[in-house]
Every structure is written in structure tokens, then in C-alpha cells.
Chain A
Amino acid sequence: TQLLEQSPQFLSIQEGENLTVYCNSSSVFSSLQWYRQEPGEGPVLLVTVVTGGEVKKLKRLTFQFGDARKDSSLHITAAQTGDTGLYLCAGPSYDKVIFGPGTSLSVIP
């Protein structure tokens, strides 16, 4: 059974700080996805990483896929209150998408 772990599970920081969220597995994934879910809404896809070692940037967000395709990280530079939400990593597993437990981020003004 493929499992995804995330750390930290909860994070509260001041506006302007940097942070990194980690997603780890003991299994190899063909790709990993990151979603952000804001309160009252469904998860929204931020990025898909496919190639080991890949780095993708989305404005202040930087995503990295580990060389062995077992882990990924999300780094946010100069966090803003609009970054508040639940960050989920996810990966394909047979006919399903499995999710990590999520990182609940709160950015305080």
C-alpha cells in the first residue's frame, strides 16, 4: 500500500516569513501533485511534478520532486495571508489518487 506523509501537519507563521512543507513516501511515485484548499472551497491543483529532481516555481511557491521520486517539498517565500489554507500532496496509485494528511497553514498579519 502506497502512503504519503506530510510535515508539519500544522503551521502558524507571521506574514513575510518563509516556510517549507514536506511530503514523503517509502514508495516511488510516477508523479506528485500539490493542492491548496481554502476554507469553504474544494482543493485546487497548484502543480504536478513528474521528473526526479524537477523544480517548478509558481510566483512565491517553489516545488521540488526528489531525485528518487519518493518525496517532494513546497517552499513559500514571504508568506502572505492569502496563502492560508490546507496544503495537500497527492499521488496516483492504480486507479486512485491518494492524499497525504495535509498541512494546515495559517499566516498571521
Chain B
Amino acid sequence: DTEVTQTPKHLVMGMTNKKSLKCEQHMGHRAMYWYKQKAKKPPELMFVYSYEKLSINESVPSRFSPECPNSSLLNLHLHALQPEDSALYLCASSYRGSPLHFGNGTRLTVT
């Protein structure tokens, strides 16, 4: 069982919908990440939160909006997505400078 929990596992949304992805960890990690992954490709970094503050935004389009309500939770709000945004969205956490602990991801399909 993964120690990083992501919900939902699967999500299908239309281009005009608003939805949110959720991520939770209770390992005391103070760095949390969102990655986007296409099939058989490496994860691409989207956002990094460090001590609940956004520290890295990899020039992600504004239709993706991250939020870190507390040290255990990370959300990704989605609005007006495009079909090319369909991918596996992975959440990860770590102690600073340590290896990443990934969740099992949300498989997103934009129709």
C-alpha cells in the first residue's frame, strides 16, 4: 500500500467542467509535488510546495491551480482543460532532498 493517497483514481471531465484532484500523506513530509505523466514517459514536474508554500511552478497553464491547505494535503484544481491534458497525474512527497514517495495517481481523461 502506498503511503501517499490520491483520489479519485480515474476522472473523466468535459472541457467546460471544474474538478479537483486530492492528495494526502501522513509521513510528516514538508515537500509535496504534482507531476504529469504520459504513457511510457517520465513524470514531468508541475508544482512544488515546501512548508505549505508554492516554491516551484514549472510554467504550468493557469487552468491548473494547486492548493496546499495544510502539511498533509495537496489539491490540484482543474478548469477548462484541453484533451491534450489527458494524462496520469501523480502526487509525491518527501523530506527535503530525499527520494520521492509517489501516490498511484489519478488517470484523467478530458473529452
Contact = CB atoms under 8 A, between A and B. Distances in A.
Interface of A: 33, 35, 40-45, 48, 86, 88, 90, 92, 95-97, 99-102, 104
B62 interface: no
B56 A95 contact: yes
Contact of A40 (B92, B97, B103, B104): B104
A28 B103 CA distance: 29
B102 A43 contact: yes
B55 to A, nearest CB: 6
7 smallest A-B Cβ distances: which pairs? A42-B102, A99-B42, A45-B99, A42-B104, A41-B104, A102-B42, A104-B40
Contacts, number: 47
B49 to A, nearest CB: 11
A2 B55 CA distance: 20
Contacts of A35: 100
Contacts of A92: 97
B41 A96 contact: no
Given A41-B104, A42-B2, A99 B43 contact: yes
Contacts of A100: 42
Q: Which of A42, A48, A86 has the most CB of B within 10 A?
A: A42
Interface string B32-44: 0000000011110
8 contacts: A40-B104, A41-B2, A42-B105, A90-B100, A95-B48, A97-B45, A97-B99, A101-B41
B72 interface: no
A104 B39 CA distance: 10
